[in-house]
Amino acid sequence: MDDAAWEAVTDTLTAERLALRGKELVYATDKLQFLLKRVPGRVAAVAESGSRLTATNIERLVEAFGDQEEAFAVGLEKLRYVAPVFRMRPSEAGFEGFNHACSHYNYSICAGDFSAVVVCSTGDFFVYAGSPRFVRSALGQDLSDSFSTLDNYIRRFPTEDSRLMLNSVLVAIRDEFPVAADGSWVTFPK
């Protein structure tokens, strides 16, 4: 990657190869249900989100991706006018580029070595998966605390349909993912 902190991957074969690598971690169905792969040594957590990465999210992601020279934003839905894959530096400028281009769509942010992933959903949640250190850094708290924080957020959510959807994500990540067989996929929301 050149000096740009953020750029679309314009070579079709490279974009397809990177998208396939990303889909080895997480992919979406046509109905925008996400499937997250259970991998040995990987933990997952879920947190509330708005439509953009906040300054705090960016600071934590820079720390979490700190050992990576690059990361990839991989589209989780078919979009007509937005690139399906972006190459980025895991820096403040790189995540700001992500906000500008991708924050209104469903994308994953994959570590350059594909050891970790962040699912950035338009459904008011982020899912973090990777090593315990990565997830703790990205969350800014322990997993158990993050689950309690999200449960409190869900209880305050204004609509019942949204509460049910977010609760299904919480149950999938908190309860199903840790006990899923290695190599299997956990689906959310339900």
Quote the pLDDT of residue 51: 73
- pTM score: 0.95
Query: Distance of CA 148 to CAs 22, 57, 72, 76, 152, Å?
Result: 29, 18, 30, 27, 6
47 with 134: CB under 8 angstroms? no
The alpha carbon of residue 146 and the mean position of all alpha carbons in its chain are separated, in whole angstroms, by: 15
At 93-152, the pLDDT tens digits run 999 999 999 999 999 999 999 999 999 999 889 999 999 999 999 999 999 999 999 999
The pLDDT of 161-166, averaged and rounded, is 94
32 with 106: CB under 8 angstroms? yes
| Separation between Cα atoms, residue 86 and residue 105, nearest integer Å | 13
* Residue reference for tokens 């399906």: 84
Quote the pLDDT of residue 3: 55
| Separation between Cα atoms, residue 62 and residue 60, nearest integer Å | 5
Quote the pLDDT of residue 60: 97
Closest by CA to 55, choosing from 108, 99, 111, is 99
Quote the pLDDT of residue 52: 86
Quote the pLDDT of residue 158: 86
At 7-34, the pLDDT tens digits run 999 999 999 999 999 999 999 999 989 9
Quote the pLDDT of residue 7: 94
Query: Distance of CA 8 to CAs 1, 5, 84, Å?
Result: 11, 11, 8
CA–CA–CA angle 183, 43, 103 (5° rounding): 100
Quote the pLDDT of residue 142: 92
Asked whether the predicted pLDDT for residue 1 surpasses 60, the reply is no
Closest by CA to 107, choosing from 78, 137, 64, is 78
At 48-57, the pLDDT tens digits run 998 789 999 9
